[in-house]
Structure 1
Amino acid sequence: MRTNPILNTDSYKASHFLQYPEGVTTVYSYIEARGPKDHDLLFFGLQMFIKSYLTTPITAEDIDEAEEIFTAHGLPFHREGWAYILEKHNGYMPIAINALKEGTVTKTSVPLALIYNTDPKCAWLTSYLETAILRGVWYPTTVATNSFLIKQQIKAALEKSSDDVTGQLPFKLHDFGARGASSQETAQIGGLAHLVNFQGTDTVSALPMARQYYGGDDPHFMAGFSIPAAEHSTMTSWGRAGEKDAYANMLEKFPQGLVAVVSDSYDLFNALENIWGDELKEQVLARDGTLVVRPDSGDPVEIVCQTLEVLGDKFGYSTNSKGFKVLDPHVRVIQGDGIYLNSLKDILDAMIEKGWAVDNVAFGMGGGLLQAVSRDSYQFAMKACAIERNGDIQPIYKEPKTDKKKTSKRGIQGVFEEQGQLVAKTILPEQIADSENMLKRVYWLEQGVPQITHLSFTEVRQQAEETS
């Protein structure tokens, strides 16, 4: 369903064209995550927003619809301004966006993007677009950041306990979040943000997003992978008395490769000890692949360790060079219930304490990955920092006496590397294009046509690896 770009804003924005002082020709704004202080942040998603929302021009019908709605809504409507954009710029937004390279890992409080109007008659436009642009940045960046932080946790645990850190890491966190997301678009955007860090997902709708918005040379590029897996409906359809048959059917229908089977429909430990570990043991060991057992209820820390102990007792294990136990390669575990940033660390710590290599377990994350986030998770904001008025650049800022943490940056913002860290600096307009400024031009108009500095998804992943 097409969204009218003029209506993709907050109500009060419609009146702001009347509120600027005379002589203002340019408004500069920046986007940042204000906190927590010195927290890592993985920037991602702006290119999706630009291609989705800025490359579609407004139409006369959009202007008519917006005028009718805003007027009935109780607000003034800047018909003259929108008609000018339609006539002068073919309906495209005359703004420029400069941003960090997507995939960059930096600290909070570093500007991620600078936005400003490029037509002096459209100074009101910069802040009008705040609602849409900020939403297009905060959500994917927050999901990508949380996924990145989990990746660092798992990587540290693998480095302690595994002989195969590089091979294990890309598939250690699987996205189970599609059904818990607020909309398909949320699942698409958040699901792709997760795939910057990992390659496992069940959020199918995220996969074409990588091709559509971050496509590279390979039109068949695949950003994420999954495996055949059971759910409770398929297992319980056999009835309680048919639990063994349900599991045996999975082994028969998927004789090779990885296959995941949820095993707690009735009694997890009966399934582990008697069905998998006894009645079907020979079939499991005869497979050309790996059975991934999924416990799906109970305290995650206890259940994961208990599951490993039973599988180790039934199927055996080896000890790697670091002294940690690794299950027979025919069996592994995936924990997909109750996984959050803090709970995952508790599971990893408990596994290592009990001598189990992290190789044995993968994790699935649902609502905690794609939905349990907000703009306040990292205190995202887009703030005006400078105006050009009567030919002069004037810094502007807010500094609330009642909350100094909300003090905004003053002056046009640039980002520069100093001693291996990115830092914000106030710059002059001519320094926006400085080769040392890390905020590079990613969107602008050229002879009325939108221009985009395109990044492939592979380049985004490489950037995340290089700057982490």
Structure 2
Amino acid sequence: MTLLHDTNLILDTDSYKASHFLQYPPHTERLFSYLESRGGKYPATRFFGLQYILNRYLTHRVTLEEVEEARAVIEAHGEPFPTEGWRRVVEHHGGRLPLEIRAVPEGTLVPTHNVLMTVTNTDPELPWLVGWFETMLMRVWYPTTVATQSYFLKQIIREALEQTSDRAAEELPFKLHDFGSRGVSSRESAGLGGLAHLTNFMGSDTLEALRVARNHYGAEMAGYSIPAAEHSTVTSWGKPHEVDAYRNLVRTFGKPGAVFAVVSDSYDLKHAINVHWGETLRREVEESGATLVVRPDSGDPAAMVRMSIRALDAKFGSDVNSKGYRVLRHVRVIQGDGIDEDSIREILANVIGDGYSAENVSFGMGGALLQQVNRDTQKFAYKASAALIGGQYQPIYKDPVTDPGKRSKDGVLDLVKEGPRFVTRQYQDFDTAYPDSVLRTVYRDGELLVRDTLEDVRGRA
């Protein structure tokens, strides 16, 4: 059995796409498709991740060997294959895909129901390529949805900090930490989803996000972490020596200005806070000059955070800031179990309701951040909307009577700003340049034309 090449992008499509070159009307010269969020959980999307997809995959040069490999697989699979078309890509275009892709600048927050990306062909003999790559290009839904969710969570935390903290701007970038790498389906999901989160925050334990950021978005260091204990490092000392495990952490990482986190519920969280941290090790923590971050990791999240903050206050004390809220001395709390939007809201409401600043608590988010999203979270769709057939413009749309919400747009679409509002415009001309367009041509004929840095992306919300 001959193994298939991982780099053969012809095979990165849905099986039925291979038959579509035979289904379009005769003399079809151009097709135009667009991507949008048709609504969903959030009122807007923070577009992100297309540059990675284009740079990682669509700058690849197709070879005749890959064409023959794909033909053999797809025909054996039961589908026809556009052999001559793909040979034209190789022989006439040097393996470069004759497509033009326009998109909103990455990091832009765009209200739903607006065009985010458009795709058309630049070779009139190969219009079906626009649909062939729907499968690959549609995957931008994932980093966009992660970036969107992370962005809206940031607004929840921002509001709490601005109400209760004198250091909101300094605290905010590190208040939602990515714990999601082990909970995703692949290394690529970890990297791309983890980086999507880092468009909004600076804290992450997903190392793969740093690789994607450096290789595809020019970021020398995209995010930061701190030394932290896990249950295995604490419990390896044995229950009778739990306090020794904690003492070792203080003496190893407790340097002036440092921050380190210790999971403290391996046996009895209340005992760990009230006795081990609050009595036996209190003076060492205070004299270290470091900040100890206590991590509850079981039980009801809101109740455990509330208990932990109150208990730590009783042992380490707190100060009242200029806004009238208490800030713990020497210690903080991070909740990394059961964190989602609802629990974040509940925890912050409890903390603030008890008279404490939101800066006392941080959040670690895993599966809910990087994995518990899907294409329908923001109802992403990639649809054909216009064609040029025998030189004549043809609108393309669907309008199912069984679901009016799936009515697709028609026309050659563009995105503009009218004052502060984003507006999708519909035209009937494939080649007119619109000077007020928000969309940029980011890819044409196998070349990535725009390379944003992570800092560019971060600055656009």
Q: Please name the residue that 1:354 is paired with.
A: 354
* CA displacement 1:213-236 (0-9 Å, x = unmatched): 1116xxxx2110000000001000
How far did 1:429 drift?
3.2
Cα RMSD (Å): 1.2
How far did 1:444 drift?
0.5
Structure 2: how far apart are the matches of 1:432 and 1:454?
Answer: 24
Structure 2: how far apart are the matches of 1:308 and 1:431?
Answer: 61
* 2:412–2:430 contact (8 Å) kept in structure 1: no
Residue 125 of structure 2 aligns to a residue whose secondary structure is helix
Instruction: Look up the equivalent residue of 1:24 and give its one-letter code.
Output: T
Residue 327 of structure 2 aligns to a residue whose secondary structure is strand
Instruction: Look up the equivalent residue of 1:411 and give its one-letter code.
Output: G
Pick which of 29-38 and 121-130 moved more.
29-38
Residue 377 of structure 1 aligns to a residue whose secondary structure is coil
Q: Does 1:147 align with 2:150?
A: yes
Match of 1:176 among 158, 175, 179: 179
* 2:42–2:378 contact (8 Å) kept in structure 1: no
TM-score (norm 1): 0.95
* CA displacement 1:226-275 (0-9 Å, x = unmatched): 00000001000000001000000001111310110000000000000000
Instruction: Look up the equivalent residue of 1:239 and give its one-letter code.
Output: G
Unaligned runs of 5+ in 2: none
Where do 1:23-42 residues align within 5 Å?
23-36=27-40, 39-42=43-46
Q: Please name the residue that 1:197 is paired with.
A: 200
Residue 443 of structure 1 aligns to a residue whose secondary structure is strand
Q: Please name the residue that 1:113 is paired with.
A: 117
Instruction: Look up the equivalent residue of 1:96 and give its one-letter code.
Output: E
Match of 2:106 among 96, 102, 105: 102
* 2:107–2:458 contact (8 Å) kept in structure 1: yes
Match of 1:163 among 155, 166, 170: 166
Structure 1: how far apart are the matches of 2:48 and 2:317?
Answer: 43
Q: Please name the residue that 2:237 is paired with.
A: 238
Residue 88 of structure 1 aligns to a residue whose secondary structure is helix
- Identity over aligned pairs, percent: 50
Structure 2: how far apart are the matches of 1:433 and 1:238?
Answer: 68
Moved over 4 A (4+): none
Structure 2: how far apart are the matches of 1:37 and 1:167?
Answer: 29
Structure 2: how far apart are the matches of 1:255 and 1:317?
Answer: 20
Q: Please name the residue that 2:280 is paired with.
A: 279
Structure 1: how far apart are the matches of 2:150 and 2:331?
Answer: 26
Structure 2: how far apart are the matches of 1:281 and 1:312?
Answer: 12
How far did 1:433 drift?
2.7
Structure 1: how far apart are the matches of 2:238 and 2:37?
Answer: 51
Residue 424 of structure 1 aligns to a residue whose secondary structure is strand
Q: Please name the residue that 1:295 is paired with.
A: 296
Residue 345 of structure 2 aligns to a residue whose secondary structure is helix
Structure 1: how far apart are the matches of 2:439 and 2:238?
Answer: 59
Instruction: Look up the equivalent residue of 2:360 and give its one-letter code.
Output: N
How far did 1:211 drift?
1.4
Q: Please name the residue that 1:206 is paired with.
A: 209
Where do 1:33-432 residues align within 5 Å?
33-36=37-40, 39-135=43-139, 137-215=140-218, 221-256=220-255, 257-328=258-329, 330-429=330-429
How far did 1:432 drift?
5.3
TM-score (norm 2): 0.97
Structure 1: how far apart are the matches of 2:421 and 2:65?
Answer: 48
Instruction: Look up the equivalent residue of 2:348 and give its one-letter code.
Output: L
Instruction: Look up the equivalent residue of 1:333 and give its one-letter code.
Output: V
Structure 2: how far apart are the matches of 1:391 and 1:215?
Answer: 43
Structure 2: how far apart are the matches of 1:59 and 1:288?
Answer: 61
* CA displacement 1:26-65 (0-9 Å, x = unmatched): 1000000101387121110000000011111111121111
Structure 2: how far apart are the matches of 1:430 and 1:244?
Answer: 70
Structure 1: how far apart are the matches of 2:288 and 2:311?
Answer: 20
Structure 1: how far apart are the matches of 2:273 and 2:428?
Answer: 66
How far did 1:89 drift?
1.0
Q: Does 1:453 align with 2:456?
A: no
How far did 1:106 drift?
1.3
* 1:37–1:109 contact (8 Å) kept in structure 2: no
Structure 1: how far apart are the matches of 2:136 and 2:241?
Answer: 52
Unaligned runs of 5+ in 1: none
How far did 1:125 drift?
0.4
Structure 2: how far apart are the matches of 1:355 and 1:405?
Answer: 45
* 1:414–1:432 contact (8 Å) kept in structure 2: no
* 1:238–1:245 contact (8 Å) kept in structure 2: yes
Structure 1: how far apart are the matches of 2:40 and 2:181?
Answer: 28
Structure 1: how far apart are the matches of 2:397 and 2:430?
Answer: 21
Distance 1:451 1:266, change over 3 A: closer
Instruction: Look up the equivalent residue of 1:195 and give its one-letter code.
Output: L
Residue 364 of structure 2 aligns to a residue whose secondary structure is strand
